[in-house]
Chain A
Amino acid sequence: MRRTRTKSQTFYAISLAATSAVSTVLLLPIVGATAHDGSGPPQVYDVTQNPSPADRAQYGQDRSTHGGSAPVRAESRSKADEHGRNDAFLQGVLRGTNHRLLREGPWTRYDGTPIGLVREIAFDKPHTVPMRAWPGIQWSEEPGTDGYAPGKRELDVRRMASITLFFDDNNGLVGAYPDSGSIVVSSPNNVDHPEMAGRH
């Protein structure tokens, strides 16, 4: 049986096709070859297996493993030791605590130029540091630059399990950050930048 379309049916069909075409273009993810500015083809890691039910007990826990440490220059280590001994902020934070070096690694600019090292110090018991000025690094947001300005912000820190310290070989302790489990209150004197939201 032959089917015929009215004008309105034809208009509807054309509109539907056009809408579908536009939607398809808009909804398609970016597809195509990607460029590579490194060397050689990508390494392939065989992960075809799913875990088996027998694995559930063994792999249900947080094993808290880490990726090891990159080599630290002996010069940076000895300078950090010296800077740390002479830094009033750090000595004030550590006074009266039992603590240990959890890990340390090199600190470089993005182009690989050495700056110094970063250390994470763990406390045996949760530690409180009443409101005071903490050093912090202010990495440059300017395109074409690769460096930081030292600064300070006022923090009240409670239940701190560890502290991450940025040592510049030349300028000493320039950054200190409490661990993510700490309870931190920021002073009203600090300045936030809401315009920076959503960039990372």
Chain B
Amino acid sequence: MKILAALSRVLPPVLAGAAVGLVLAPVSGLASNHWAYQEPGHMDFGQGDYVYNYDFREGSTWSKYKVDWPITFIAYNSATVNKLKTVMEQFAYDQAGGSMYGHVNDGPESSHYLIQDTDSGKKHDFCPGVGNETPHFRVYADGNDYLWQIGRGSYVVASTHRDVEECSSFKIFRDSEQVEGGIVTNLSNLYYVYHDRYAWGNPEPYRVQGRHIWDNNGYGSYVEMT
């Protein structure tokens, strides 16, 4: 309050009011954006394949300070990035969003290289304004549009969330768990699904950093495509 009182002495009243109205704090260190509850880990799919259990805002780092959302489901058996996106168009996921990065390793099929795959995903509404929102998923694989291994076939992994009032100054982001459930329910009309089947090491307790609402139970869903 001493700072605000000092501000009001040196600033015109309107500017002082603005300084009070905007409840700002300087950004410190690494935490200039939202960050995960724990360090990201590898989901070890066997046969040398692994995938990081979050997607990331940058392609070159994997710390918990650079995550965007948890990876929440896998589509397998005969899945590719384009096939999953095409299938989801019938559930109104026909618009693109902003891009993030998935970190995937296809084992021997990618010469054991870790790949940083970028994807903008699919959502219902390209630009939800005040009072509107849209679920949004992003799908990751390596350069040939899928990961592959014996017994699982071609597979892809995806993160989920919801953009709320994104094209307004009131935007917030939330619902990784609920959007996962919604997509799995959509896909259960077409395929066998296993909702929240195995622990993937990315539980996020309910809390809010800035405008990013975390809530994820840490269990990944499986979609057996045909």
- Interface, chain A (partner B; CB < 8 A): 27-40, 42-51, 53, 55-56, 59-70, 103-113, 115, 118, 136-140, 144-151, 153, 155, 164, 166, 168, 171, 175, 177, 180, 184-186, 190-194, 196-200
Contact flag A110-B177 (CB < 8 Å), given A38-B65, A46-B44:
no
Q: Which of A35, A45, A145, A190 touches B60 (beta carbons < 8 Å)?
A: A35
The reply to whether B23 and A36 form a contact with Cβ atoms under 8 Å apart is no
Give Cα A18–Cα B120 distance, bound, in whole angstroms: 30
Contact with A along B187-208 (1 / 0, CB 8 A): 0100011111111110111111
The reply to whether B214 and A67 form a contact with Cβ atoms under 8 Å apart is yes
The reply to whether B61 and A34 form a contact with Cβ atoms under 8 Å apart is yes
Residue of B21, B131, B173, B219 with most partner-chain A CB within 10 A: B131
Contact flag A34-B103 (CB < 8 Å), given A137-B211, A193-B167:
yes
Contact flag A112-B97 (CB < 8 Å), given A37-B65, A55-B194, A153-B130:
no
Which residues from B are CB-within-8-Å of A193? 129, 167-169
Give Cα A49–Cα B181 distance, bound, in whole angstroms: 21
The reply to whether B42 and A42 form a contact with Cβ atoms under 8 Å apart is yes
A52 to chain B, nearest CB (A): 9
- 6 A-B pairs with the lowest CB-CB distances in the bound complex, closest first: A192-B129, A147-B24, A43-B41, A186-B131, A48-B46, A136-B170
Give Cα A40–Cα B66 distance, bound, in whole angstroms: 16
Which residues from A are CB-within-8-Å of B194? 51, 55-56, 59-60
Q: Is B53 an interface residue (CB 8 A)?
A: yes
Which residues from A are CB-within-8-Å of B103? 34
